[in-house]
Amino acid sequence: MAVKLRLARTGKKKQPQYRIVVADARVPRDGRFIEVIGWYAPRSEPSEFKVDLDAARKWIANGALPTERVAKILDAAGSSEGER
């Protein structure tokens, strides 16, 4: 099973907020997920996010691949694992 760290959209129309989730790569963007490890609010100025770095490191060590946007969020949060 291919596992990814990716964003799942929540929030109202034209006011997106995202959860950072661990999900099977085959399920839809807002579909079933394994674990929520953080959130990201791009519309606030500056954009806000919170990530459980220990959980992210655990999943990456087990072979999960972060998407490009999640990798940037992990880098900003202080994790070097987001560079994969």
Under the banding of pLDDT at 50, 70 and 90, the label for residue 79 is low
d(CA 84, CA 82): 6
pLDDT at residue 84 in the model: 43
Check the CA dihedral 60-17-50-46 and report its sign: positive
pLDDT at residue 12 in the model: 93
Q: List, for residues 43-52, the tens digit of each pLDDT value.
A: 988 889 999 9
Q: Residue 36 sits in which domain range?
A: 3-83
Strand partners, 8: 19
pLDDT at residue 28 in the model: 85
Provide mean pLDDT across the span 15-37: 91
Question: How many structural domains does the chain have?
Answer: 1
pLDDT at residue 81 in the model: 53
What is the average pLDDT value for the chain, to the nearest integer?
89
Domain CATH number, residue 37: 3.30.1320.10
pLDDT at residue 83 in the model: 47
d(CA 40, CA 11): 11
